[in-house]
Every structure is written in C-alpha cells, then in structure tokens.
Structure 1
Amino acid sequence: MDQFHDIRPYNDDEVAGVLQNLVNTPDFIDTIVGFKFTKWPQWTRGFLAMVVKHVLQKEVRKINDVHAFQTQVADYMERMIKTTTSNVEYRGIEKLAKNEGYLFLSNHRDIAMDPAFVNYGLYLNGLDTVRIAIGDNLLRRPFVSDLMRLNKSFIVKRSVNGVREMMAAFGQLSDYITHSLTQEHCNIWIAQKEGRAKDGLDQTDPAIIKMFYMSQKKQKVAFPDAMQNLKIVPVSISYEYDPCAFDKARELHEKSTTGSYQKAEFEDIDSIRKGIVGRKGKVIVTFGDVIDHNCATPDEMVAEVDRQIIGSYAIQSTNSAAQKVLNGEPSGDSVFDEYMATCPAELRETVLRMYANPLIQKQERGL
C-alpha cells in the first residue's frame, strides 16, 4: 500500500490521465482564459475557452511523464524570466553534488516563484529538481492541486482539526520527507516557516525542525545524527522588487490597525498570478552549506539556519534605498523613488520597512 498516496506528487504513470482530466475541467480552462486574456471583453470568453482547450489538448498529448511536464514548465520559466526580471543569479550552486538528496530549507517571499527559481537553477545545472512542500490552504480548487502535484509538489495538511489528527499529519509528512531524502535521494524544498515573510524578516520556525525529526526519532536516531542524515542546505532568495509588496503591506497595515485580516476566497491564487507576471528586477538565489556539524537541539539548528539565510541574503539596491529613506535621507535611486510614488500613502512606511528589514537584520547580527 502507498502510505503517501494522498500527499505525494504524481508518478509518471499517472501524468497522462491527470492532464486529460485537467483539459476537460471547465474551471481550469476558465482560469487560463482569465489569466491570459484579462483585457478581452466578457462576450469573447466562450470562444477563447474553446480555443484554449483545443490548444491544450494538442500540447498534453506530448507529455507522458513528470520530466516532460517539467521541461514544458522550464520553457514558460524562460519566457517569464525574460519579461519580468532584469537578471537571475545563482550563488553556491556549484557546491551541490549530483545524485544526492538535499533538504533545501528556504526563506519565503513568493508562493510559487521561490521554489520555481530554485528548481530552474537546479535544472540549468543538471541537478534533480525538487519535491516542493505546499500547504493545502492553497489547494482549494482541485485543478490547482493537480497542477502542483504534476510539478513534484507534495501536500502539507495545515487544515486538519484536532491534536491527534495534526500529529498524524505531521508524522506522515516527516516520514515522507525522510523517505524521499534517505531512500530515494530526491531533493526537497520547504519554507523555513509557514507563510511568506511579509515583513521581510527571515526566521525559522522551530516546529519545522521538530517535524523533520519525528520520523527518525521513532527509530531512536539521535537528533544531531538525524539532522545530518537529512543534508539540510539553507537557501536565501532575494528579489529586487516584490510584485506582491503592496498587497502584503495592506495585510500588515490592516492587522496593525484593526487587529485582524480576512483573506478573499481566492486571494492566494491571485498572489501566485501576480508573483509570476509581476516585475521582479534582479533575483539572486544563494545556496548555503550543508549543515553537517553537530546541532544538539532544534534551537541550535534554527540558529544555524537563520545565520546562513540572513548572512547569505543578497542585498539589493531597493533594500539600501529603503533604509536610507527610513533614516530621512534621499534614496539615491530614482527608479526606487518612482516605484514608491505608486505606493498608497498609508502603506508607505510598511513597504519601506519590508524592503529595509533584510539589511537591518544583517546589520544587527553583524553578518
């Protein structure tokens, strides 16, 4: 029996059937039409849906396994990079060995693009792409779940109720991650904490480390040995411009002024769309060192992950400019000034702090 059947990515022999189901799903087709033809009049949507479905039916006939699907994704990535970034740079990737399974523990800025940029760097350098941890809160529409699982995503059950159910879900997740790394030697990508760091402060949640340990703890493996078995590599992703910055600031502002924030039904899907098509400027992905020295406790592991992620975060022009403005100085960056001129006045300080915080965090730690 497949103990991971409800959370794992799709296998090669499942790809063709899932794709056929997708192209026959009206919600999926309608979403693509809305995504690609935003400015077209409503009365054209029916015709466009027929065209999109016909084109996709031809495309999916060529895709019979996960590698073929990800090759198609790579083509879209190349086009996206050309239109939304000024440059993408990878640092430290030369330290990674082929045919080795790493647990990439990453800071988190963008729902879809963070693992996508990591994946693209691995793909370009002839390394295996990652299995991506994704929360079930993002999978409210069934076709999104199918798309993610086709792209080697596995599901983190965040919506389970009750302590027993939650512990069972975390135990299954820990077993799956450990199995993927130690038995199948596959790469894994997971964020250092639940949700994006909307304020620009990167901090690892100790609960993530404790979840990693659950599987090996049952086998009586000592904590330092268990962590070494997972080959954890901290990853730091830096965007010159965040396409969702104003939306994140609006959420933070509303929470600070009213005490709460209620997401719209498909707000996360809209964030994914903005992250893909929005302006990003320069993107820098830095792979840290495998944590192979003895971290005796989860807190020691958290400290080391944070040290590497914050220390290797590539400071962009926008980070420096934002800090200057907060200090009452001219930014010295006319492009950033034009960008901030489009920011709603009530969100201005929140956005500036969001951009300045990675630099402030480094300075406070002397990194």
Structure 2
Amino acid sequence: MSKFDSIRHYHDSEVQEALSSILNHPMFKSLIAFTFPEKSETELKEIFSSINSIDDFQSKFVYHSLQRVLAISSEGVTTSGFEKLDPDGAYLYISNHRDILLDTSLLNVLLMEHGKKLTASAIGDNLVKKSFVLALARLNRNFLVRRGLSPRELLMSSKLMSEFIYHMLSDEKRPVWIAQREGRTKDGNDATNPGVLKMIGMASDEKDVMDYFKKLKIVPVSISYEYDPTDKLKMPQLLAQLKDEVYIKGKNEDFVNIMSGLLGQKKHIHIHIGDVIDSEIDVIKEEFDSSNKQVQALANVLDREIISNYKLWPTNYIAYDVVHKSNKFENKYTENEKQVFLKRLGLRVDKENEPLLQGFLAMYSNPVVNKMKYENES
C-alpha cells in the first residue's frame, strides 16, 4: 500500500481493469456515443482494447471528447505562452478557476497539442462521490482534495497532498495543476488563497520555504471565457455571499454545474501560460523575513501575473460600461455584441432584483477593473 493510495490517480497497470469496470455504465456509454457518434461497435472495441495507460486514455478518448465539446459550445480556443515550456518540464501550474472541469481539461488538451507533458490535476472529492465518476477522474490523472474535514483531519490531509504534489513533480517528473483557491470564482475577482500556497509548502524541508517554492517551478495560468457557461448557476451562491448568508448546495448541483460548464455556450476561450516565478521569489526573500508575509507576497505575484495576462472580451467591456454608465470602452465592442450580451443578461437575471443584476454584471466587469488596477500600478 502506498501512502498516497487514498488520493492518487490510477497507475498505468490499473487502467485496463478500471476501464473494463465502467465500459458498460450507462453514463459512460452515453459519453462514448457523444464522442464517437460515427464509430461502429467494432471500431469502438478496437479503441478501448488498445488503451493501456493514462496517456492512452487521454489521447484516444478524453482529447476527442473535449474536441466535440468545443465544437458544439465554443467558437474556438486561442493560446499564448505555451512555446516557452520545456516539453519535459515538470511545472506546478497554478491557475485561476472558472469552471469545475473545463479549466484543467482544456489546459491538458492544449498541452497535448503543443507536445508538452500533461498534468496530474487536483479535484475536490465532493465532485466524485459516485464510483463511476471517481473512476473516470482517476483515469484522467486527477488526484483528490478532501473536503469537509475536521481541523485535525484537514492538517493531515493537507500534508499528504503537499507530499503527493512534490512526489509528482520531483520523483515522477509530472506537471501538476491546482487552482489558486478552493471553489470557482463567482464574482470575477481572481485571487490566490495564501492557504493553498501554505498547503503546497507543507512538504518543504528547506530552511526558507521560498527556496522550496523556487524548486517547484511555479507557472501562473490565466484562463478566460467570453461567456461563462455557468454564470446563471453561480448567482444563488453569489447572492448568499452578498447577504452574508451560508449557502447550501442542492443535491445535484455539482453535476448540473459540470454539465452546464461542458455544454453551455462559451463563445471564445483563451489560455495564457505565464513565466516561471523565479526572480520574483528572490525579491520576496530579500524583502520579507516572516514566512506568512512571504507567502502573501507570493500570492500577490500570482494574482498580478494571472490578472495581467487575463484576456478581456467584449462581454467584459460591455459589463464595465453598463455598471459605470459610461462609454469608456465602446471601441472594444460593437452595438450588436452589446445587444446580445444584454439579451443574455435579461434571460438569466430578473432585472428587478438589483443585487442579482449587479452580481451578474460584476462577474464580467471585475476583470476589467482588476486589470486596470495592475496597469495603473506598473
């Protein structure tokens, strides 16, 4: 038994058995039919009998599933920064988080297309409670982040995950993806939770944790969707936050969010790969002597990089001008684009519900506000 067995993805030696266990599951059959609508039964058997590793599963099945998703729900993906990556580099990708599955799935599709190593990716165990979904996640090289723990359990779980991340990067030479915070951004304010960085640093044996972070080769990733496919679904939780109320998820809420994220209209998507955070860590070491201040400073660097490289779309500029009752960015969008956005707004939000209306607009306008802040500081 490995100490990582409770959270790890499948080993290649386990893939064929795991795949056999879900092949006849109704949901997996539906997924196969969606991915390969024109394949015969014989062709499908050939494909799945040839899958003997996670790389096989991702290249022969997951990649094609995502291509179908993008074909029916987007107008394409653009990229920047991938050319800087070493094909064999084991990077720690820290990304803003907008969609449950798409963020990391799209990154891996693009890494594959650019000839780079695919990631081991963190996923909350609350999303994979059904055995079928858990098997699918582990086949896709997801490792589990345990939720809803007591303080003592959380400490032990965080240390285990930190050690697993280091094991993947150092021993397996496998890149790792993790979101900059727990849960998706609901209000458009992408911000790194220092607690995530503290968890990552728990495996450090360095005298100064900044030396450890430098070893991990942290790469900030910015992902932006022209239309957030789950914007409407995020509203109830955002409204609860505005009222300072505890939000309780519905029974199938996570599943609905996953399906809406995959199949909902996104229009254009952009993913930017930043530079390895290296010299910035040296500056942090010189400027701060307490680990808490250093970690917060590193979180600030990540925020700056993610926000500065976040691609803004006409929807963002339209929302900003509507919120501020201005025409500051009218050269960034057409009148038709504005009317389409306002129609979407009207279909998703009761305009009489002012908090909800402002919350929806803020989701799209805050990236503009945040980017302007960093541009003014530079």
TM value normalised by structure 1: 0.88
Where does residue 121 of structure 2 map in the other structure?
A: 132
The one of 175, 178, 181 equivalent to 2:163 is 175
Distance change in 2, residues 1:32/1:329 (3 Å): farther
2:254 aligned with 1:265: no
The one of 366, 369, 374 equivalent to 1:357 is 366
Q: For residue 355 of structure 1, what is the amino acid of its counterpart?
A: Y
Deviations 1:229-260 (A, max 9, x none): 00000101000001100110122124434723
Residues matched between the structures, number: 347
> Do the aligned partners of 1:23 and 1:53 also contact (CA within 8 Å) in 2?
no
Displacement, 1:164? 2.5
Q: How does 1:1-367 map to 2 (within 5 A)?
A: 1-24=1-24, 28-30=25-27, 60-71=48-59, 72-161=61-150, 163-216=151-204, 219-257=205-243, 259-293=245-279, 294=282, 295-296=284-285, 297-329=294-326, 332=335, 333-345=338-350, 346=353, 347-366=356-375
Where does residue 41 of structure 1 map in the other structure?
A: none
Where does residue 46 of structure 1 map in the other structure?
A: none
Q: For residue 260 of structure 2, what is the amino acid of its counterpart?
A: K
> Do the aligned partners of 2:79 and 2:272 also contact (CA within 8 Å) in 1?
yes
> Do the aligned partners of 2:220 and 2:306 also contact (CA within 8 Å) in 1?
yes
Q: Distance in 2 between matches of 1:232 and 1:251?
A: 31
> Do the aligned partners of 1:104 and 1:233 also contact (CA within 8 Å) in 2?
yes
> Do the aligned partners of 2:22 and 2:28 also contact (CA within 8 Å) in 1?
no
Q: For residue 101 of structure 1, what is the amino acid of its counterpart?
A: A
More moved, 327-336 vs 68-77: 327-336
Distance change in 2, residues 1:301/1:141 (3 Å): same
Displacement, 1:34? 10
Q: For residue 367 of structure 2, what is the amino acid of its counterpart?
A: P
Could you say what secondary structure the match of 2:137 adopts?
A: helix
Distance change in 2, residues 1:53/1:205 (3 Å): farther
Displacement, 1:365? 2.8
Deviations 1:288-319 (A, max 9, x none): 11011223311111111011011111111100
Q: For residue 188 of structure 2, what is the amino acid of its counterpart?
A: G
Deviations 1:92-119 (A, max 9, x none): 1111111110000000000000001111
Q: Distance in 2 between matches of 1:110 and 1:54?
A: 35
Could you say what secondary structure the match of 1:177 adopts?
A: helix
Displacement, 1:36? 7.8
Q: Distance in 2 between matches of 1:270 and 1:31?
A: 17
Displacement, 1:56? 7.1
Q: Distance in 2 between matches of 1:210 and 1:143?
A: 32
> Do the aligned partners of 2:23 and 2:29 also contact (CA within 8 Å) in 1?
no
Q: Distance in 2 between matches of 1:255 and 1:327?
A: 22
Distance change in 2, residues 1:228/1:220 (3 Å): closer
Displacement, 1:55? 9.5
Q: Distance in 2 between matches of 1:259 and 1:124?
A: 44
Q: For residue 322 of structure 1, what is the amino acid of its counterpart?
A: A
Distance change in 2, residues 1:321/1:99 (3 Å): same
Q: Percent of aligned positions with the same letter in both sequences? A: 35
- Structure 2: give runs of 5+ residues left out of the alignment: 35-39, 286-293
Q: For residue 253 of structure 1, what is the amino acid of its counterpart?
A: L
Where does residue 291 of structure 2 map in the other structure?
A: none
Could you say what secondary structure the match of 1:203 adopts?
A: coil
Displacement, 1:340? 1.8
Could you say what secondary structure the match of 2:348 adopts?
A: coil
RMSD: 2.3
Where does residue 44 of structure 1 map in the other structure?
A: none
More moved, 179-188 vs 237-246: 179-188
Distance change in 2, residues 1:31/1:329 (3 Å): farther
Q: Distance in 2 between matches of 1:64 and 1:116?
A: 20
Deviations 1:4-54 (A, max 9, x none): 111111011101111111134xxx4158659989xxxxxxxxxxxxxx999
Q: Distance in 1 between matches of 2:138 and 2:73?
A: 25
Q: Distance in 1 between matches of 2:254 and 2:308?
A: 29
> Do the aligned partners of 2:206 and 2:212 also contact (CA within 8 Å) in 1?
no
Q: Distance in 1 between matches of 2:323 and 2:123?
A: 35
Q: For residue 19 of structure 2, what is the amino acid of its counterpart?
A: L
